[in-house]
Structure 1
Amino acid sequence: MKKAVSVFLFVVTLFLASPARSDASDHRYKEGDVVPLYANKIGPFHNPSETYRYFDLPFCIPDHMKEKKEALGEVLNGDRLVSAPYRLDFQKEKESEAVCKKKLTKEEVARFRSAVIKDYYFQMYYDDLPIWGFIGKVDKEGKDPSDYKYFLYKHIHFDVFYNKDRVIEINARTDPNSLVDLTEDKEVDVEFMYTVKWKETSTPFEKRMDKYSQSSSLPHHLEIHWFSIINSCVTVLLLTGFLATILMRVLKNDFVKYAHDEESVDDQEETGWKYIHGDVFRYPKYKSLFAAALGSGTQLFTLTLFIFLLALVGVFYPYNRGALFTALVVIYALTSGIAGYTSATFYCQLEGTNWVRNLLLTGCLFCGPLFLTFCFLNTVAIVYTATAALPFGTILVIVLIWTLVTSPLLVLGGIAGKNSKAEFQAPVRTTKYPREIPPLPWYRGTVPQMAMAGFLPFSAIYIELYYIFASVWGHRIYTIYSILFIVFIILLIVTAFITVALTYFQLTAEDHEWWWRSFLCGGSTGLFIYAYCLYYYYARSDMSGFMQTSFFFGYMACICYGFFLMLGMVGFRATLLFVRHIYRSIKCE
C-alpha cells in the first residue's frame, strides 16, 4: 500500500511540476520558417460530440498529408489532427493564394450542402493556437424553406499576430463575398483560396492563451457566478441554520429527558431514538455491496479533490487538448487502491468473510456501468464514423492501464484493508434479535426521504450547473475553478447536514435501518442532476440527433451515478459520526 501511495504522489507531483502554461511547443521562428498548421475536426455546431475528420468533406487535400501523434487525452477528446491544406510561413504574407481548383460532383455538392444546413464548423490548430469558423451559410431571404439558398465559403483570411520570433494570436474569418452556390444538385467548379496577414503585437508569449479564458471572467459573468454563490450560501445558511436550531434543541431536550429517566424509575419504558440503541448499530443487509459502494464513493471523492487541485494550480487552461481526460484516467487508475482499502476495511469491520468477492464488486461497481455505456456509445460513433470512436490502439492502452495499474492497486489496497485488523467502533451493544419497526407514514419512506434530501443540495448548485453543462456540452469556456470549488464545498456541507437531520428524525421514529437510507439520501442529489439533464437538453440546448442524444444521456448517466456514489459516501460518513456521538453521550443498559 505504501508503494502504491508513493507512486501516486510521484505522478501527481509530475502533473503539478509540469509547466502550467506550456501552451505550445516553445518554438521560435525565423522569417520564412514553416509553422505547423493542423486541421482537426468538423461537425454540427450544436452537437459537440458529433465531430468528424476534417477531410471527411471534400476539401483540398495537401500533397504531403501526415497525421499528428496525439496523447491519450487528445484521442479521448475526439481530436484527430492532420496537415492542413494551407501554408502559413512565419511573417510571409499572401494575398488570395490558390489552394486548389476542383470540380465538385453532385454527391460532393450534396455533402457540403448537408453540412451547411447543419451549421458545420471547422477547427484547426496553428502553433497550438485554436482556429475555428463555419464552412458556409444559409440565405433565408424567402419565408418558405424551399426558397432557402446554401453557400460554401471558399476564401479564408488568416490574421496572425506575432511578437518578435513568437506566434501570439491567430484569427480566421471567411470572406462573405467569396461564395459557392450549393443550392442546386449540379456539378460546381470551385477554387479554394486563402489570404495571410501578419501584424506585430506587444503581448508576451506567456499570456497568449489569456484571451480564451477571459470570456468566462468578464464582469457580467463573474457577477452571475458570485450571485450564484451568494444565493447558495444564503439558502444554505437559512435552511441549515433552521434545521440545526431545531435539531440542537430537540437533542438537548432528549439528553435532559434521558438523563432524568436514568435518575428515576429504572424499569421505565424507553421511547425515541434511545429505545432502539440495541439495533442502531446492527450491520446492514448486503454489506458487501454497501462496503463496495463506500469504497467506490471514496475513490471518486479523492479523484474529484485531485482534479480540483490540478485545476486551481492552472493545469487545465483553455484548449489544453485532452489534459482533463488524461488526468481523469491516470488519477482514477492510481486511486483504485483507496477504493480497495476502504471497501475491504469496512467489509471486514462488518464481519464479512468473502473479501475477494467484495473486491471484485468494488472494482466493477462504477467501472462496469461505465464500460457498458462506453461499448454502446463507441459502437454508435463507429456507425457514424465520428472521431468520438476510439481507435483500437487507444482501447488497448486503456485496457492495459486497467490490467496493469488499476486492478493490482485495487488488490493491494484490499489486502492492506483486510489485514488492518480494525474493528467497528460501536458505543453501545447490539442485541441478538432485531426490534420490529413500527408502521410509519408514507412521507417517512425511502423515496420521499431521498426527494427531500436531494432537493436542498441541488438548489445550492443548480445555477452553476448551467455553466458547467454549457462548457462540457457546448462551446462556452469555463475557467473559474475557484468558484466551482466553493460550490463543491457547499454541496458537501449541505449533503452531510441534510442527511444527518433526516437520519435523526428516522431514529426518533424508532426506525433503526438507517445505514442504506443515509447512503441513498446522500446520493440522491445525483438523481436531481440527471433530472436537470432532461431540462437542459430540451429547454436550454439545441442538441439533436441520435448520436448526440445518446452521448449526452449516456455519459451524463455515468457522471450522475458517480455523484450518487460519492455523495452517498459523504452522507453516510457524516451520519455515522453523528449517530456514534449521540449514543456515546447517553447511558444505555
Structure 2
Amino acid sequence: MGMERRKPHAISMWMCFALLLLVHSVHSFYLPGVAPQDFEKGDLLKVKVNKLASVKTQLPYAYYSLPYCKPKKIEDSAENLGEVLRGDRIENSPYEFKMREPQMCNVVCHVTLSDKEVKEFKEKIDGEYRVNMILDNLPLVVPFRRPDTDTLVYQHGFPVGFKAQYAGSKEERYFINNHLAFTVKYHKDEETDAARIVGFEAKHFSIKHVYDGKSDDSKTRLTTCDPHAKRTVTNSNTPHVVDDREIIFTYDVDFQESEIKWASRWDTYLYMADDQIHWFSIVNSLMIVLFLSGMVAMIMLRTLYRDISRYNQLETQEEAQEETGWKLVHGDVFRSPMNSDLLCVYVGTGVQFLGMILVTMIFAALGFLSPSNRGGLMTAMLLLWVFMGIFAGYASARLYKMFKGSEWKKITLQTAFMFPGIVFVIFFVLNALIWGEKSSGAVPFGTMFVLVLMWFGISVPLVFVGSYVGFRKPAIEAPVKTNKIPRQIPEQAWYMNPFFSILIGGILPFGAVFIELFFILTSIWLQQFYYIFGFLFLVFLILIVTCAEITVVLCYFQLCSEDYLWWWRSYLTSGSSALYLFLYAAFYFFTKLNITKPVSGILYFGYMLIGSYAFFVLTGTIGFFACFWFTKLIYSSVKID
C-alpha cells in the first residue's frame, strides 16, 4: 500500500519538474524587441554588442574579450537556449543615440593597450574577426558594392581591423578600426511623429586621432574629427596602428528616413545571396527528382501487377512448384534479423527525428521561426526532440514485440540513451576543445546541466511512456508464416552484392538534397541567414519520397533474387546517403572555407559527423518503413498455402 501511495507523488513531482523546464524553455523562446517599437524624437536608443565572429576560425569570442570601451556596468541580455549554443553573448554598450538627432565625432573612450592586449588585437585581425552589434533587434551590417556585378550587398558586423603596408614599408602592419559612422534608417508614421527603426548600417574607419590638451573622454577636443570645424575622419588619411597602443574610439550617427516598413525591414538581411541561382537550382533538382520518382513508381506498379497476377494464376492451376522470384522466400521474409534489438533502437530514434523535423519545418514555413528570433530555430528543435521521445519509445517497442522480444525495459533504455549518448560524448569533447580556446562558443556548465536535465527529466520518461503503451498493443502480424528452418540463399549476382547495392541506394536521396545542402552549409559556416523554409520543406518531402522509392525498388530486386535478408539492407540502403553527405561536407571544407586552425577543422568535422549521423538515422528509418510496408503489401496480395 505504501508503494501505491508513493507512486502518484513521484509522478506529480516529475510532472511539476517537466512543466517548470517547459515553461522556462518556452519563455526563453521569445525574445524582447521582436514586437514593433515606436520611438519619438529624442528617445534614447541603446546599442547592444554581440560576439566577435570569424568564418576563418569558427570560434566566437565575447565582445569584451578585447579591450573595447565598456559601460559603467556590463549587463547580459536575456538569451534563449539556442543563442547560448550558437555562442551569442549579448551585452550592453556605451554606444547610445537619441532618435533623429545626428551626432558627429563622439568620443566613446580613451584606451591604452598593454602588450597582451596588442597581441590579442593582432590575433583577432589575423583571424578576420568581425564585431557584431544590435539595435532594436536588428544586426549591424556594412554595405559595399561587388566589383564584379556592381550590386550592393551587406556583411554582418564590421572587421576588427586590417593588415596593410604603410608609409612605403614592405612590412605589413596591423591597423584597428576605431571610428564608426552609423546610419540608422527609420520609417515615420504619417499620422503621428513616432518612427520605427528599419535599418542599422555602419562604415568603419581607422584613424589616428589627434587631440588638444589632455585626454578626457567627455571633454576631449579632437583635431582629426571636429564637429565645430566640420572636419570628419574622411578628411584624414592617417590610419591607427595597433602598436601605437593609445587608441581613441569615436563614432558618428546619422538618421535617414526610409520607405521600408517595419514588417519588411528584414528583407535587406535576407536577400544577400543570388536568389536567382538558388531558386533555379531548387526547381531544377525538384523536376529531376519528380521525373525519376514517376519512372520508378510506374515501373514498380506495372512489374508488381504482372507478378501478382501470375502467382495467383499459378495457384489456381496448381503449379506452385514452378514458382520463381520473390514468392519463393515467403516462409523466410519476415524472419527476425540479426541484431534486431539495435534495429528497433535505430528505427525508434529515426521516428523521433522525423517527427521533430516535420513539426519544425511546418512552424518555420509558417513564419514562427524567422531569423529575427535569434536562436529560436535551435531552441524549437531541442524542445521538439525532447517531447518526440514518446514516439521513439512507441515505435521501438512495437517493432521489438513483433520480433518476439520480451524485455521491453531493456529496449527502452537503449532507445533513450544510445543516440543521445553518442552525440553527447562527441559534443562534450568538442565543447572541451572550444573551452580550451577560451571561446564564447563553449557551452557554459549551467546550460550543459539544463540539457542533461531535459534529457533525463523529460525525454527519458517520455520514451518509457511510449514504450509502455507500444508494448501493450497487440504484436504486428506478418501476412505469411515463417518456416522453422531458414532457406538457403543462392549465390547472388555481382550487382546484388549488399555493399554495392547499399552504396548505389544512397546516391539518389543525396542527389535530391545536395543543392539545398550547399545553402544550408553556407548559412551555418559562413554566417548567413537561411530563410527559404518553404522550399526546404518541399525538398524534405522530396527526400522522403526518394528514400522510400529507391529502397522499395532495391528491396524488390533483392527479393526477386531470393535473398530475404532485407531488414537491415532496407535501413542501410537509404541511410547510406549520409556517407555522401559527409563526403560532400569534406569537399565543401576544402573548396569553400578558409579554415587553417587545427581546432577549427576538428570542430567542423565533429559537428558534420553529428549531422551525418542524424541524417543516417532519419533516411534509414524512412527507407525501412517504406520497405516494411511494401513487403507486407505484396505478400498479403498473393495466395499462399
TM-score using structure 1 length: 0.91
1: distance between equivalents of 2:48 and 2:163? Answer: 27
Rate the CA distance shift 1:528–1:52 in 2: closer, same or farther, 3 A. same
Rate the CA distance shift 1:517–1:63 in 2: closer, same or farther, 3 A. same
1:336 correspondence with 2:389 = yes
Q: Which amino acid aligns with 1:274?
A: K
Could you say which residue in structure 1 is the equivalent of 2:202? 172
Could you say which residue in structure 2 is the equivalent of 1:99? 108
Cα-to-partner distance string for 1:370-429 (whole Å, 9 max, x where unaligned):
101111011011100111111111112112212221111111111111112x22231111
Could you say which residue in structure 1 is the equivalent of 2:87? 78
Rate the CA distance shift 1:208–1:494 in 2: closer, same or farther, 3 A. same
1:282 correspondence with 2:335 = yes
Cα-to-partner distance string for 1:466-501 (whole Å, 9 max, x where unaligned):
111101111222211111111111111111000000
Could you say which residue in structure 2 is the equivalent of 1:195? 252
Rate the CA distance shift 1:242–1:168 in 2: closer, same or farther, 3 A. closer
SS at match of 2:96: coil
2: distance between equivalents of 1:295 and 1:375? Answer: 24
Could you say which residue in structure 1 is the equivalent of 2:373? 320
Could you say which residue in structure 2 is the equivalent of 1:39? 49
Could you say which residue in structure 1 is the equivalent of 2:75? 66
Which of 336, 360, 366 aligns to 2:419? It is: 366
Please identify, of 158-167 and 244-253, the stretch whose mean Cα deviation from structure 2 is larger. 244-253
1: distance between equivalents of 2:313 and 2:79? Answer: 72
- Considering only aligned residues, what root-mean-square deviation do their CA atoms show, in Å? 2.7
Which of 155, 164, 167 aligns to 1:139? It is: 164
1: distance between equivalents of 2:112 and 2:206? Answer: 21
Instruction: For residue 350 of structure 1, report the CA deviation from its aligned partner.
Output: 1.8
Could you say which residue in structure 2 is the equivalent of 1:544? 596
Q: Which amino acid aligns with 1:410?
A: V
2: distance between equivalents of 1:494 and 1:448? Answer: 19
Rate the CA distance shift 1:139–1:211 in 2: closer, same or farther, 3 A. same
2: distance between equivalents of 1:268 and 1:24? Answer: 72
Please identify, of 489-498 and 149-158, the stretch whose mean Cα deviation from structure 2 is larger. 149-158
Cα-to-partner distance string for 1:72-125 (whole Å, 9 max, x where unaligned):
222112111122132223333321111122222333222212222221100011
SS at match of 1:366: helix
Q: Which amino acid aligns with 1:83?
A: N
2: distance between equivalents of 1:115 and 1:229? Answer: 37
Instruction: For residue 546 of structure 1, report the CA deviation from its aligned partner.
Output: 2.4
Q: Which amino acid aligns with 1:564?
A: F
Instruction: For residue 23 of structure 1, report the CA deviation from its aligned partner.
Output: 5.1
1:161 correspondence with 2:220 = no
Counterparts in 2 of 1:415-564, with a 5 A limit?
A: 415-420=468-473, 422-564=474-616
Q: Which amino acid aligns with 1:588?
A: I
Rate the CA distance shift 1:31–1:344 in 2: closer, same or farther, 3 A. same
Instruction: For residue 247 of structure 1, report the CA deviation from its aligned partner.
Output: 3.2
8 A Cα contact 1:50 1:547, kept in partner:
no
Instruction: For residue 155 of structure 1, report the CA deviation from its aligned partner.
Output: 0.6
Which of 209, 212, 227 aligns to 2:269? It is: 212
Please identify, of 85-94 and 288-297, the stretch whose mean Cα deviation from structure 2 is larger. 85-94
8 A Cα contact 1:158 1:194, kept in partner:
yes
SS at match of 2:547: helix
Please identify, of 90-99 and 510-519, the stretch whose mean Cα deviation from structure 2 is larger. 90-99
1: distance between equivalents of 2:618 and 2:51? Answer: 35
Please identify, of 115-124 and 261-270, the stretch whose mean Cα deviation from structure 2 is larger. 261-270
Rate the CA distance shift 1:237–1:166 in 2: closer, same or farther, 3 A. closer
8 A Cα contact 2:326 2:561, kept in partner:
yes
2: distance between equivalents of 1:430 and 1:529? Answer: 38
8 A Cα contact 2:46 2:95, kept in partner:
no
Q: Which amino acid aligns with 2:552?
A: V
Which of 413, 417, 422 aligns to 2:466? It is: 413
1: distance between equivalents of 2:261 and 2:299? Answer: 58
Please identify, of 567-576 and 207-216, the stretch whose mean Cα deviation from structure 2 is larger. 207-216
Which of 138, 148, 155 aligns to 2:172? It is: 148
2: distance between equivalents of 1:512 and 1:368? Answer: 33
2: distance between equivalents of 1:143 and 1:193? Answer: 27
Based on CA coordinates, which of the two structures has the bigger radius of gyration? 2
Rate the CA distance shift 1:237–1:392 in 2: closer, same or farther, 3 A. closer
Cα-to-partner distance string for 1:6-43 (whole Å, 9 max, x where unaligned):
x99xx89x989x99x97536544444433232111113
1: distance between equivalents of 2:297 and 2:79? Answer: 53
Instruction: For residue 433 of structure 1, report the CA deviation from its aligned partner.
Output: 1.0
Cα-to-partner distance string for 1:217-270 (whole Å, 9 max, x where unaligned):
xxx51x323322332233224433443444344334423432343244546243
8 A Cα contact 1:213 1:317, kept in partner:
no
Q: Which amino acid aligns with 1:371?
A: F
Q: Which has the higher contact order (CA 8 A, sep 6+)?
A: 1
Cα-to-partner distance string for 1:115-166 (whole Å, 9 max, x where unaligned):
222211000111221111111122268999x632321111111111233243
8 A Cα contact 2:178 2:206, kept in partner:
no
SS at match of 2:336: coil
2: distance between equivalents of 1:319 and 1:537? Answer: 28
SS at match of 2:99: coil
SS at match of 1:566: helix
8 A Cα contact 1:281 1:426, kept in partner:
yes
Instruction: For residue 274 of structure 1, report the CA deviation from its aligned partner.
Output: 0.8
Could you say which residue in structure 2 is the equivalent of 1:234? 287
Please identify, of 174-183 and 334-343, the stretch whose mean Cα deviation from structure 2 is larger. 174-183
Instruction: For residue 337 of structure 1, report the CA deviation from its aligned partner.
Output: 0.7
Q: Which amino acid aligns with 2:605?
A: F
1: distance between equivalents of 2:34 and 2:316? Answer: 76
Query: When the two structures are aligned, how many residues end up with a matched partner?
Result: 572
1: distance between equivalents of 2:558 and 2:168? Answer: 62
8 A Cα contact 2:509 2:574, kept in partner:
no
1: distance between equivalents of 2:452 and 2:312? Answer: 60
Q: Which amino acid aligns with 2:87?
A: G
Q: Which amino acid aligns with 1:158?
A: F
Rate the CA distance shift 1:430–1:336 in 2: closer, same or farther, 3 A. same
Could you say which residue in structure 1 is the equivalent of 2:347? 294
Rate the CA distance shift 1:235–1:110 in 2: closer, same or farther, 3 A. same
Rate the CA distance shift 1:143–1:239 in 2: closer, same or farther, 3 A. farther
TM-score using structure 2 length: 0.84
1: distance between equivalents of 2:279 and 2:202? Answer: 34
